[in-house]
Structure 1
Amino acid sequence: MNSDTVCAIRRSLLFSAVPAGDAAVLLDGHGTLTLNDGDVVFAEGAPADFLFLVLSGDVLIDASPASPQLRLSAGDTAGEEAVLTGAPHAATARAAGPVTLLSMPAGTLMGYLESHFDVAIAMISAMAGNLREQVREITELKMQSTAERLASYLLALAGDATGKAVVRLPYEKRHLADHLGMDPATLSRAFAKLRDKGVVASRTDKVEIADVATLRTYGDCAAFTA
């Protein structure tokens, strides 16, 4: 058993209540998948035969064509709500760039949970908390204009920086557009609208912010709409 795989399970919030000695039980029959950009992890309406743990890279969840997408990264799980309820997948998941996933058979997980009620309750609680956070994020994004969404995202990347800051986008702009619920052309227009707020995007992944406080004021006050 690969010790790195066991450690990945232990670091996952969903599996935080699983005793250390039981990780190997959950990994019985598991597999490791390496996917390329755009490859489907699971499709909407498909049976939930596996739960997926992101080991590296990012996965996008398409809740609906009109909504911002959810982005999962290393340590996040995908498909757990379908596996734990026995329902088909409610959305499609795709690789956003190269991604490596651990696939856990649904039958293995459910068999374990049947005899570990306390762990099952802890998993449901963790899943509910994660769902609340995802709903909050999507709700906030949908209430903002496209430029406001972009400003909020850039401010999150800037963190506690003050004054002038340079941030780097963690993935391609087309994937950023997907995450923010817009198409690439709309993202370009949003960047253009932020120029008078001191935001300059390069052709690569670098974005310069002339003054973080000015951008933050814009985001708080919603100075204009898209």
Structure 2
Amino acid sequence: MMTSLLRDSHLQRVDAGEVLFMQGDAASECYIIVEGWVKLYRLTMDGNEAIVSVFARGQSFAEAAVFSMDSYPVAAEAVTASKLLRISRDVLHQKIRKNPEFALSILSSTSLHLKQLVQQVEQLKMHTAAQRVARFLASLCPMEAGACTIGLPYDKTLIAGRLGMKPESLSRAFVKLRKLGVRVERNAAAIRDIKVLRDYADGDDGGVIYRRPGNISSQSTA
């Protein structure tokens, strides 16, 4: 199935900042990211960007629009220099008609995107800015416990937009997370204990847990 899909798709190289499609354009193609990052966003009435999602290597986007809509409900732009596989509307429909497994994979991908959007709304309603940042940083670290150093995948303005906050709120969240042993410098974050960060992201923000040698305590962040 994948071999056939690769044969019928087109590899596209794009530069950072290059627009793939605009909100309202005819939904003619969907994409799979081979390398890089792509953001999806909607333009507000005052011309600002409202980030809907950010996709990375191995992820696909715009399938639902190509499958069931006449136009894209969002715009897409490469965050970094990227390589993308473009799959035309005709090819996608042909694969769906001929291959039930492919149809199920498209349905699964669409369901996953919907689940992620629901989770984003839930986090905006139920978690503080610092908790959302903690969850984002934790998602970049493959370890379950211990120290971890990660590179921020894109600029902080985009991180703030993805997490539903202003850049100044992101900066305040970074300061707050220092009590958890998180240090952010330039484009990297050093985390003293990823488990502590994950526990904080999933827990109550009434206090910040931090560790010192031989001691575990709680300190109010009010």
* 2:200 alignment partner, SS class: helix
Aligned counterpart in structure 1 of residue 193 of structure 2, from 211, 214, 219: 211
Matches within 5 A, 1:56-75: 56-62=35-41, 69-75=52-58
Shift of 1:201: 0.9
In the alignment, what sits opposite 2:139? 156
Shift of 1:34: 1.9
- The 3 A distance-change label for structure 1 pair 162 and 94 is same
Aligned counterpart in structure 2 of residue 53 of structure 1, from 32, 49, 52: 32
In the alignment, what sits opposite 1:31? 10
Higher percent of residues as strand: 2
Matches within 5 A, 1:30-179: 30-62=9-41, 69-114=52-97, 116=98, 118-119=100-101, 121-143=103-125, 144-179=127-162
Q: TM-score, normalised by structure 1?
A: 0.76
Consecutive unaligned residues of structure 2, counting only runs of 5 or more, are 208-220
Provide, for residues 54-102 of structure 1, a one-character-per-residue CA deviation record: whole Å limited to 9, x for no partner: 1210111115768653121122222111111142101111111111112
RMSD (Å), alpha carbons: 2.8
* 1:70 alignment partner, SS class: strand
Higher percent of residues as helix: 1
Q: C-alpha separation between the residues in 2 aligned to 1:162 and 1:169?
A: 19
Matches within 5 A, 1:165-204: 165-203=148-186
Q: C-alpha separation between the residues in 2 aligned to 1:147 and 1:67?
A: 20
* 2:140 alignment partner, SS class: helix
Consecutive unaligned residues of structure 1, counting only runs of 5 or more, are 1-8, 11-19
Shift of 1:159: 3.7
Provide, for residues 18-49 of structure 1, a one-character-per-residue CA deviation record: whole Å limited to 9, x for no partner: xx5x436x61xx43322222221111111011
Give the count of matched residue pairs: 203
Taking only the aligned residue pairs, the percentage that are identical comes to: 26
Counterpart contact for 2:64–2:110, Cα < 8 Å:
no
Counterpart contact for 1:31–1:102, Cα < 8 Å:
yes
Q: C-alpha separation between the residues in 1 aligned to 2:74 and 2:151?
A: 29
Shift of 1:106: 1.2
